[in-house]
Structure 1
Amino acid sequence: MVIGKLVDVGGYEICAQVLGSGPAVVLDGGGAGQGLDTWGPVPERLAEFATVVTYDRAGVGRSGGTQARSVAEQADVLRRMLRGLELRLPAVFVGWSYGGLVTQVYAARHPGDVAGLIFVDPTAAGTPPGSALVRRLSFDVAARLLRARAALGGRNARARRELAVTLGGMQDAMAEAKSTREEYGLPPVPIRVITAGKRPRMPRAQLDHLTADHEALAGPSARGRVLVAEHASHQVPYEQPETIVETVRELLSG
C-alpha cells in the first residue's frame, strides 16, 4: 500500500505522495479518484527523472472532505494541495480517464501552472450522442449496481461507493469540462492525447464522439498530437505504461 502525506487545503486534508526530484509532473487518476493506488508502475518510472505527485481526491481514499460534484471545485482543491506541497510550478499535468476532465478544467482555469498536458484515454467532454433518457438511465443503473456491490463489503467496497458518486455526476462533469474549455481555452503548451488502441464494442456514433473529442483536445496546432497506445485498452497505465513515461519525458525535454 502507498503511504502518502496529508496536506491541509482549508478545513480538511488531502492525501498526496511525492516521489523523485526534478521538473514537476502531476498525475490525476480515474473516476474513483484514488490516485495514489491507480497508476501502476508509472509514478516510480517517472520518479527516475521528475518530481511526481499523485493524490486521492477530496472525500476519496485517504483524503478528508467530501466528494465534489463540480469539476472546477476538484481542480481548485488540487491547486490548493499543490500550493501546500510547495511544488515548483509550472508542471506537466497528466490526466487519465475522468482525471482528464479535471486536468483540462485545471489547465483552463490556471494556465500559468501548466508546462504541458498529457491526456491518457480521457473521458470525452460534452454531450454523448443518443437519447438523454437512455444516458441518464445507464449512468443511474451503473451507480446503483456499484452501490449494491459495495453493500456486500469486501476490499473494494469503499472504492465502489466513491465511483458510484462520480458516475452519478458524470453527465454534469462532461458538460462542465466542455463549457470550461470553450470559455477559457487550453493554454498554449504542448499537448498529447494518448488514446487506447483496443476499444470495447460500442455504437459507431459513440466511438466517433470519443475520437472527435480526443482530436479536439490535441487541437489544430503542431504543439498537439494524438498518440495511439496500440496494445492497450483503457488501462493504459498498466498495459502500456512506457508510452506515458516516454511522452512525459518528451514534453519535459522541450
Structure 2
Amino acid sequence: MGVEELVETPDGRVLHTMVAGEGPDLVVLEAGLGFGGHYWAPVHERLARRVRVVAYDRAGLGDSSPDPHPRDLDRLEADLGVLLDAYPHRRLVLVGHSWGGPVVRLAAARRLDSARPITGVVLVDASDEHAPGYFARQAALGDAVQAATLPTLARVGLMRALIAVAARGLEPVHRRGLLDSSTTVAAARAAVEENRHVRPGLRALLDRPLPLPDVPVTVISGRRHGRLDAGLRRQLNRAHAVTAERHGGRLVFAERSGHLIPLSEPELIAREVLAMVEPAPEPA
C-alpha cells in the first residue's frame, strides 16, 4: 500500500497513513469502526494506478496514537481534517465505509466554504441515520455486550480469529497488517469508545441534517444478507436510497456484497471514485 507515514495532530498525537499513487488529485479512504486502513488494500491499489490515495489507522489502531478524548463524530472529523491538510491536492474525493460514512459527510459539510472544498463523496454501505434499527433496544444491548467483551476477546486472541475470517480474501501482507493493527487490546478499546458515540451521532444527524457541497455523491449499498440480518439489510437499503435522494446522488447496489464491500467488490468502489476525478469519454 505504498509509503507509510506518520502525520502529527495539533495535540501531539500521530496518525499512521498509507500513501500511494501520484498526481494532483487525492482520494482519502475512511474506514469502518474497528478496522485499520489495511482492509482498504484492494481499493487502494486500484486507485493508486490513477490518482494519489491515502488510507489510515484511526486513533488507537496500529501505529496511530490512542486519543484520551471522547471519540465522537466531531473528534473523528477533526483527525480526518488533519490528513486533508497534510496532503496537498487539486481535487479531493472522500470515501467512507460504514461508520466512516458519517465522518466523511461531516468533513464535506464543514468544507462548504473552504478554498479547497470536497470534489466528490462516496459512501460505502455507510451507517445511516434513516435506518431505525440503530435506535432499537436490541442495538443498545449489543453495544453493552461489545463494550463488556471486546477487550477480553482481543486479549485472548479471539478478536484476531474473527477478523481473520472476514479478511481471508486479502493478500497475506495486507491481512497481517489488518490483524496487527485492528485486534490489539488498544484497538478493541478504541473501537468500544467509538461505538459509544455511534447512536448519539446518528441521532444528531437525524435531528440536524448535514448539507453537502454541490458535488457528485454516490451511495453504494450492499445487497447480500444472511437469514438473521435480512431485516436490517432492507432497512439499510431503504436508508441509503433516502440519503442518495436528499443529496442528489446516485444509489448503486453492490449485488455480490453484504457489508464488507471494500473486500468483496473493490472494483465497484474504484470505478465510482475515478468517475469523479476523470473526465467522461467523448461520445463517438
Q: Scaled by the length of structure 2, what TM-score is found?
A: 0.78
Instruction: Indicate how the Cα distance of structure 1 residues 70 and 220 shifts in structure 2: closer, same or farther if over 3 A, else same.
Output: closer
Write the mapping of 1:140-151 to structure 2, written as runs, cut at 5 A: 140-151=144-155
What displacement does 1:204 show?
Answer: 6.8
Aligned residue in 2 for 1:250: 275
Deviations 1:104-144 (A, max 9, x none): 11111123431001011111225724875433212111232
Aligned residue in 2 for 1:12: 13
Name stretches of at least 5 consecutive residues in structure 1 with no aligned partner: none
Deviations 1:153-193 (A, max 9, x none): 4652333333232223221232234345x1x4111111111
Whether the 8 Å CA contact 2:2–2:20 is kept in 1: the answer is no
C-alpha RMSD over aligned residues: 2.5
Q: 158, 181, 184: which one pairs with 1:157?
A: 184
Q: What secondary structure, in the 3-state scheme, does the structure 2 residue paired with 1:176 have?
A: helix
Moved more, 105-114 or 244-253: 105-114
Q: What secondary structure, in the 3-state scheme, does the structure 1 residue paired with 2:40 have?
A: coil
Q: 169, 173, 197: which one pairs with 2:223?
A: 197
Q: Answer yes or no: is 1:117 the counterpart of 2:145.
A: no
Whether the 8 Å CA contact 1:8–1:84 is kept in 2: the answer is no
- Give the AA of the match of 1:157: T
Which whole-Å CA distance do the structure 1 matches of 2:134 and 2:80 have between them? 33
Q: What secondary structure, in the 3-state scheme, does the structure 1 residue paired with 2:33 have?
A: coil
Instruction: Indicate how the Cα distance of structure 1 residues 252 and 13 shifts in structure 2: closer, same or farther if over 3 A, else same.
Output: same
- Give the AA of the match of 1:13: V
Whether the 8 Å CA contact 1:58–1:68 is kept in 2: the answer is no
Instruction: Indicate how the Cα distance of structure 1 residues 208 and 25 shifts in structure 2: closer, same or farther if over 3 A, else same.
Output: same
- Give the AA of the match of 2:254: A
Aligned residue in 1 for 2:29: 27
Aligned residue in 2 for 1:102: 103
Q: Scaled by the length of structure 1, what TM-score is found?
A: 0.86
Whether the 8 Å CA contact 1:149–1:157 is kept in 2: the answer is no
Deviations 1:52-101 (A, max 9, x none): 0111112332112416422122112211222123x214401000111111
Moved more, 4-13 or 65-74: 65-74
What displacement does 1:41 show?
Answer: 1.2
Write the mapping of 1:175-194 to structure 2, written as runs, cut at 5 A: 175-180=203-208, 182=209, 184-194=210-220
Aligned residue in 2 for 1:231: 256
Write the mapping of 1:85-100 to structure 2, written as runs, cut at 5 A: 85=87, 87-100=88-101
Aligned residue in 2 for 1:215: 241
Q: What secondary structure, in the 3-state scheme, does the structure 2 residue paired with 1:219 have?
A: helix
Name stretches of at least 5 consecutive residues in structure 2 with no aligned partner: 161-179, 280-284
Whether the 8 Å CA contact 1:71–1:176 is kept in 2: the answer is no
What displacement does 1:208 show?
Answer: 4.5
Which whole-Å CA distance do the structure 1 matches of 2:138 and 2:276 have between them? 40
Which whole-Å CA distance do the structure 1 matches of 2:252 and 2:36 have between them? 25
- Give the AA of the match of 1:52: V
Whether the 8 Å CA contact 1:127–1:175 is kept in 2: the answer is no
What percent identity do the matched residue pairs reach?
A: 30
Which whole-Å CA distance do the structure 2 matches of 1:2 and 1:68 have between them? 31
Which structure has the higher relative contact order (CA within 8 Å, separation 6+)? Answer: 2
Instruction: Indicate how the Cα distance of structure 1 residues 129 and 56 shifts in structure 2: closer, same or farther if over 3 A, else same.
Output: closer
Q: What secondary structure, in the 3-state scheme, does the structure 1 residue paired with 2:220 have?
A: strand
